[in-house]
Structure 1
Amino acid sequence: MSDAANPEDIVGLYQRHADAWDRDRRADPVIEQGWMDRFTALLQPGASVLDIGCGSGQPIAKYLIERGYDVVGVDSSPPLIKKCCARFPGNRWIIADMRALALHRTFDALIAWNSLFHLSHEHQRAMFPIFRCHASPGALLLFTTGSDHGVAIGWYQGEPLYHASLSSEEYRTLLDSHGFSVVAHSEDDPDCGGHAVWLARLKQ
C-alpha cells in the first residue's frame, strides 16, 4: 500500500469507511469534554452552533444537542450525514464540502473539531473567510490543528489519511486578520489527545 495521500482523498475515505469511523468514534473516550465544557460555558442557552465536519454526530453534536443548543451539522460524507439524520431528526444536517460552504446565515458559535486539519494549507487559509461569513457578532470559534507547519500522513482502515497544519503564528495571524481574538489556546494538549486546540471569539 502506498503511503501517498492528498486532501482530495478525504471525502472518499470517509464515505467508504463511514461505519467503521462511526463505531470507532463512538467508542472513544470523550477527550473533548474539557474543551467542550469551556466552549459551552461561554454560550447563551439555546445558542446556534454550526458543526463543520460533524461526522456521524457523535460525540460533539450529541454533547451540544443534549445541552439544548441548536446544532446545524455539515459533512461531505453522505453515509455519515445519514447517521446524523437518524439519530437527531430534530436538527438540520447538510451534505457539503466545507471548502465551499455558503449557508447564507450566521451562528452564535462554530466548531471544526478534527476537520480543518484534513485540508491543504491553501484551503485551510481559505476557511477563515468562510468562518467569518458564518459568524454572528461575538461568535465563538473552536477548532483543532497541528502545532507546526507541515504535512503528516496517518492511516485509517489500511488507507493513508492526510493531515496538514500551518504554524501557530500563522493561525494567530489568520484569526486576527478576520476579526477573531484568541480566548484560549493549547499546544499538544496532553488531556486532549495531543491536539493543538484554539478557542477564539469574533470581535464585536
Structure 2
Amino acid sequence: MPTENKVPAFDLIGKRYDESFVERDVQIAEAAWLIDQLPPGSRVLDLGCGSGLPTAKQLVDAGMDVVGVDESQTMLDLAAAQAPGATYLHADLRELGELGEFDAVVAFFALLMLSKADIERNLRDIRALLRGPGLLLVSMVQGDFDTFPVNFLGSPTTVSAYPPSQLRTVVADAGFEVLALREFEAEAEPGRIEVQLYLRGAKS
C-alpha cells in the first residue's frame, strides 16, 4: 500500500494483515453491491489491493477483469498466490496515468495512507480513468487528521482521515455523485475498534 515511506511497513506486515484484520463483512458486502451493478468482464481497478483478500478474489471470482495496484511487492506476491486471475502491478498509487480505462475503481483502506492533498488529487485522477457506469467504492477511517503517525500491526506508518461530511464534499468536488455514505464500527485489529466510512459514488 502507499506511499514510498509506507512500503517497508506493509512489506513487514505481509500475511499478518489478513490474519489480524478481524471484521471485513462490510467490505465484502460493498464489493458484492458493485458486482451486482456490472456485467461480467467489466474492467475494475483495485487500488491498494494488498494481499488480494477479500476484494480482488471476490471480483475475479465474479468474472471481472481485475487490475490490482499496490506499492508493496510483498503484498502483491501474496495477492498473486491468493487471488490468481487478476493483473497485479507494483506502482505508486498516485501515478495512474498508464493504466487505461475502467468501468469501476475500488479503494478499500488505501487512500487513507496518503496525505489529504494526494487523496484529493488521486480522486480526480481516478475520475479521469472511468468509463461507462464509472463507479467508485472508497473506504476510510472516520477522523480529522492529515498524515498522522500510527502503529498498525506493530509497524509505523501514517494515516489521513475525514469527517463524513467532509469526505462527501471531497469526493463530490473530484467529480463524483455520492450515492451512499455509511458509517460502521469495526474491530480493525484485535482489541481496537474504529469507525469506518464506506462511500459509493459514480462519475458525474
Q: What range describes the TM-score normalised by the shorter chain of this pair?
A: 0.7 to 0.9
User: Which string of whole-angstrom CA distances, capped at 9 and with x for unpartnered residues, describes residues 35-87 of structure 1?
Assistant: 22222222222221100000010111111111111111000011111222234
- How far the C-alpha of 1:125 sits from its partner, in A, is 1.4
Counterpart secondary structure, 1:58: coil
Q: Does 1:19 align with 2:15?
A: yes
Structure 2 equivalent of residue 43 of structure 1: 38
Higher strand share: 2
- Rounded to whole Å, the distance in 1 between the matches of 2:130 and 2:35 is 16
Q: Which stretch of structure 1 is more off in the superposition, 45-54 or 77-86?
A: 77-86
Q: Which runs of 5+ in 1 are unaligned?
A: 1-6
* Cα 1:114–1:141 shift into 2, 3 Å: same
- How far the C-alpha of 1:130 sits from its partner, in A, is 1.4
Amino acid at match of 1:85: A
User: Which string of whole-angstrom CA distances, capped at 9 and with x for unpartnered residues, describes residues 122-156 of structure 1?
Assistant: 11111112111221132110011233421454323
The aligned length equals 194
- Rounded to whole Å, the distance in 2 between the matches of 1:86 and 1:95 is 15
Amino acid at match of 1:18: G
Counterpart secondary structure, 2:98: coil
Q: Which stretch of structure 1 is more off in the superposition, 110-119 or 165-174?
A: 165-174
- Rounded to whole Å, the distance in 2 between the matches of 1:13 and 1:125 is 23
Q: Residues 1-204 of structure 1 correspond to what in structure 2 (within 5 A)?
A: 9-25=5-21, 28-31=22-25, 32-151=27-146, 152-187=148-183, 189-190=184-185, 194-203=195-204
Amino acid at match of 1:172: R
- Rounded to whole Å, the distance in 1 between the matches of 2:97 and 2:88 is 14
- Rounded to whole Å, the distance in 2 between the matches of 1:147 and 1:17 is 23
Q: Name the TM-score, length of structure 1 as normaliser.
A: 0.83
Q: Name the TM-score, length of structure 2 as normaliser.
A: 0.83
Amino acid at match of 1:156: F
- How far the C-alpha of 1:106 sits from its partner, in A, is 0.9
* Cα 1:192–1:200 shift into 2, 3 Å: farther
Amino acid at match of 2:164: S
Q: Which runs of 5+ in 2 are unaligned?
A: 189-194
- How far the C-alpha of 1:199 sits from its partner, in A, is 0.4
Identity of aligned residues (%): 27
- How far the C-alpha of 1:15 sits from its partner, in A, is 1.5
Counterpart secondary structure, 1:105: coil
